[in-house]
């Protein structure tokens, strides 16, 4: 029955600046086709549909992106948006959504996903979620991804003792340096934190009440926001905090389940090397016909009928209707600074919008 299925919250409010120029303010990364012929949000919706029904899937985003999403996802229920007046990281939108879920469903199980991850295979995602939901009666559950490289861009979870497939959580660690990341993966009980959470609505609200009343109280006092401006007023005074730090690192009710699927946060152009197949020389392309000759390690997304690449290595080339972006892979780490400079320039800021 539908009421036995979890409610899914897809967080889709990010800017995706590291995927400029494909990602813009009006159509950020999650609304783009990055590594397949489907948008990242569409990929996420299809995964969510393997664990629940469309009427129990909600998208957390802002008002302007809601319009863009409905243009792409015409069949998505318009009432199933959780709109944040301003971006305040993940904890406020989760608290807000939990109040809505409590009002609409009583005390449902929740699954919280981000809109911009690569997950494969989907059947293993479905299996892992089903297993993890078994532990949500008394616990806040998060998934852990077994690391296959010393990644410095992810947070890590140190797992403790296990009971069946469920682990105690000893500690959380933010993005490490390479030396520390190497130590983590050698210890075998460290996992990447993909930001996939499962819990019962009453339990997460109890933890917000205990550990983050500064977020919960302003929302709860004004809920269900019948007067114009009440939600915006609440968001003005609540802090901007990630749920990992606000709740997960403080609560004594945390458990971790190891995921059996592959995962990547698809955070930058170079991440496509991990989620897209390449040719024998490591070139990767999205678009129409291309010929790589005496070239290796390139990432290209073009719009022309035919593209020829000769004698260059380790470049990123992205062609949009109004922008041609070229970077070395080694220099791509500065892309957010580039976007910031564009936004400061009155003539060029339109290319980020």
Please compute the mean of the pLDDT values over residues 244-264 and round it to a whole number.
97
Domain spans, the chain: 2-145+194-264, 269-352
pLDDT in tens, 182-198: 999 999 999 999 999 99
What proportion of the chain, given as a percentage, has pLDDT over 70?
99
Three-class secondary structure assignment of the chain = CHHHCCEEEEECCCCCHHHCCCCCCCCCHHHCCCCCCCCHHHHHHHHHCCCCCHHHEEEEECHHHHHHHHHHCCCCCHHHEEECCCCCCHHHHHHHHHHHHHHHHCCCEEEEEECCCEEECHHHHHHHHHHHHCCCCCCEEEEEECCCCCCCCCCEEEEEEEECCEEEEEEEECCCCHHHHHHHHHHCCEEECCCCEEEEHHHHHHHHHHHCHHHHHHHHHHCCCCCCCHHHHHHHHCCCCCHHHHHHCCCCCEEEEECCCEEECCCCHHHHHHHCCCCCCCCEEECCEEEEECCECCEEECCCCEEEEECCECEEEEECCCCEEEEECCCHHHHHHHHHHHHHCCCCHHHHC
pLDDT in tens, 149-174: 999 999 999 999 998 889 999 999 99
CA distance 27 to 127: 32
pTM for the full model? Answer: 0.95
pLDDT-derived band at 131, boundaries 50, 70, 90: very high
CATH superfamily of 2-145+194-264: Spore Coat Polysaccharide Biosynthesis Protein SpsA; Chain A (3.90.550.10)
pLDDT in tens, 217-243: 999 999 999 999 999 999 999 999 999
State the pLDDT at residue 164. 82
pLDDT in tens, 82-108: 999 999 999 999 999 999 999 999 999
pLDDT-derived band at 1, boundaries 50, 70, 90: low
Please compute the mean of the pLDDT values over residues 314-323 and round it to a whole number.
97
């Amino acid at each position: 029955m539908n009421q036995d299925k979890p409610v899914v919250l897809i967080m889709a409010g990010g800017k995706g600046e590291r995927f400029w120029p494909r990602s813009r303010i009006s159509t950020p990364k999650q609304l783009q086709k990055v590594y397949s012929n489907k948008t990242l949000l569409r990929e996420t919706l299809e995964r969510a549909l393997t664990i629940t029904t469309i009427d129990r899937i909600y998208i957390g985003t802002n008002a302007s992106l809601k319009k863009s999403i409905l243009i792409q996802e015409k069949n998505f229920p318009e009432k199933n948006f959780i709109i944040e007046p301003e971006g305040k990281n993940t904890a406020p939108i989760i608290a807000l959504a939990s109040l809505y879920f409590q009002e609409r469903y009583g005390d449902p199980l929740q699954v919280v996903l981000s809109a911009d991850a690569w997950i494969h295979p989907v059947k293993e995602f479905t299996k892992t979620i089903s297993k993890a939901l078994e532990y949500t009666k008394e616990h806040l559950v998060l998934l852990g991804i077994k690391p296959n490289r010393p990644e410095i861009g992810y947070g890590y979870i140190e797992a403790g003792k296990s009971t069946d497939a469920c682990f105690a959580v000893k500690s959380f660690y933010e993005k490490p340096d390479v030396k520390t990341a190497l130590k983590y993966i050698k210890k075998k009980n460290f996992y990447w934190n993909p930001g996939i959470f499962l819990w019962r609505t009453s339990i997460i609200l109890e933890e917000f009440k205990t550990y983050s009343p500064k977020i919960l109280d302003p929302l709860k006092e004004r809920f269900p926001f019948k007067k114009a401006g009440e939600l915006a007023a609440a968001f003005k005074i609540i802090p901007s905090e990630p749920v990992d730090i606000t709740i997960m690192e403080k609560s004594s009710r945390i458990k971790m389940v190891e995921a059996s699927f592959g995962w990547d946060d698809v955070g930058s152009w170079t991440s496509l090397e991990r989620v897209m197949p390449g040719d024998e020389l490591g070139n990767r392309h999205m678009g129409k016909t291309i010929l790589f000759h005496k070239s290796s390690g390139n990432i290209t997304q073009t719009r022309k009928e035919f593209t020829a690449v000769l004698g260059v290595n380790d470049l990123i080339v992205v062609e949009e209707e109004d922008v041609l972006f070229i970077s070395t892979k080694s220099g791509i780490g500065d892309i957010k600074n580039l976007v910031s400079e564009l936004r400061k320039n009155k003539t060029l800021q339109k290319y980020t919008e």
